[in-house]
Amino acid sequence: MNNPPEVWVKVCRELEKVISPDALHRWFSSIIPLSYDSGRLVLGVENAIYQYWIEENYLNQLRECATLAVGREVKISFDVVGSKDRPAPTAEDHLLQAEGKEKSKPLSSELVSRYTFESFVAGVNSQFAHAAATAVADAPARTYNPLFIHGSVGLGKTHLLHAIGHRIVQKKKGAKIVYVTSEQFTNEFISAIQHGELVKFRRRFRQADCLLIDDVQFFAGKDRSQEEFFHTFNALFDGNRQIVLSSDSPPGDVANLQKRLVSRFEWGLSAELQSPDIETRMAILRKKTATMQIRLGESVLHFIAERVKTNVRRLEGALNRVAAWAALHDRHITPAQVEELLKDFIQQETKPIVTIELIQRRVAEGYDLRVADMTSKRRPAHIALPRMVAMYLSRKMTGKSLQEIGESFGGRDHGTVLHACKTITSKMQSDDRLQQMVGLLTHKLEEPADR
């Protein structure tokens, strides 16, 4: 199933079961399904406030409904497409299209339109990476090949990858740009093997003018995917095609990667993205408010920039929340109101980073088990329940995909993780002791490290 309107209709049918009719009409009726490919559903929304509100209040339900609708894990992303002169298509409109009563060609671009060099705010933290990305986009395969961009979550790696793709297409009409995460590459590779379509798979990746691979750390431990990507890399490099990679750490620090891949990743240029300083954060906020066409006082912007420091994604999330409040209440907002609105953002700034490994340790301690029991194949009840609790907390607190979580629990599949999450959610409704234990573990995981 790769027809975006048809996928969206199925998702809406699942949403109807868990979201009130009023909320469904208010926030979802104007959504336009832009593309669906390899487990990634791109939805068009009218403005950034719609995007913020859905991400803040309904994203988990949306992901789960999409997963149920298509029978596999689905990643959701949004693209601001603006309001139209005509009424936005509803889910019923898309159903008519899916049934063949109304034909339309879905957008198939893998690049997000808002991620361009023009919308990227370069500061001291990102100047080098931005310059390297620009150089690669202006002269593909002639400057730095591959370009390896690394940095923590939410600092702009994905933005720069998409910006490179957009610039190359602007300069060379018809250029074939392929953007995927390493997880998508792996999933497509597995699907190609299962359906006997390896030739088609290799043609897609090895004939690209520019290949953009996000989050290459996901290749860790996946030997067959690494083998395939090694040959894909060689074919592109030998064919003088540009390769751009991103990761949360430098090439040599990515765990469980084959040495020959690490060596190739280091052939070109490695550029780091760091957390933005106060001046860059202010510049990002000013540019974002101008793009969103909203007016917020300098004191409000300065308050946000001073309190939210970790990464650009969180900074923009904080701004979207303030902008949504101001728009819905139709009045100016004061710094005091901003502080109240962003209370959880500010608290998050001091929280420790929660990893799957940390969750496994805390759950093992809480249930008086060995950490090894979290990843073992043993299934007695006194181990199975804590293991499901750890999977549930990993899903809730780390932002990792079901597949990544499963890999960290002894190579289990995403269906096992999804089942564990549903089981714990259901049991907590009637089991007070379990609810208390999950609450206690959550509290311990969120405590500052020095407490």
Which helix (H) or strand (E) covers residue 245, if one does? Answer: strand 242-247
Beta bridge partners of 272: 150
- Could you list the beta-strand ranges (E) of 14-145: 32-37, 40-45, 75-80
What structural domains and CATH numbers belong to the chain?
A: 4-98 (3.30.300.180), 127-273 (3.40.50.300), 278-348 (1.10.8.60), 356-446 (1.10.1750.10)
Beta bridge partners of 148: 245, 270
pLDDT by residue for the chain (451 residues), tens only, comes to 568 888 898 899 888 888 877 778 778 888 988 888 878 898 988 777 778 778 877 888 898 888 888 888 888 988 887 654 334 444 444 443 444 433 333 333 478 888 899 989 888 888 899 999 999 999 998 878 999 999 888 889 999 999 999 999 999 888 999 999 988 898 889 989 988 999 999 999 999 999 999 999 888 878 899 999 999 999 999 999 999 999 988 888 777 788 899 999 999 899 988 888 889 899 989 988 887 777 888 888 888 888 888 788 888 888 888 887 777 776 678 778 888 888 877 777 766 678 899 999 999 999 999 998 998 887 888 899 999 999 999 998 887 888 889 888 988 988 899 999 999 998 998 999 999 999 999 988 877 654 4
Look up residue 321 and give its two tokens: 């929340």
Quote the crossing angle between the two packed helices 432-446 and 381-397, to the nearest 10°.
50
CB-CB neighbours of 256 under 10 Å: 11
- CB half-sphere exposure, 239, CA atoms < 13 A: 16
Look up residue 386 and give its two tokens: 């804590």
Q: d(Cα 166, Cα 136) in Å, to the nearest integer?
A: 12
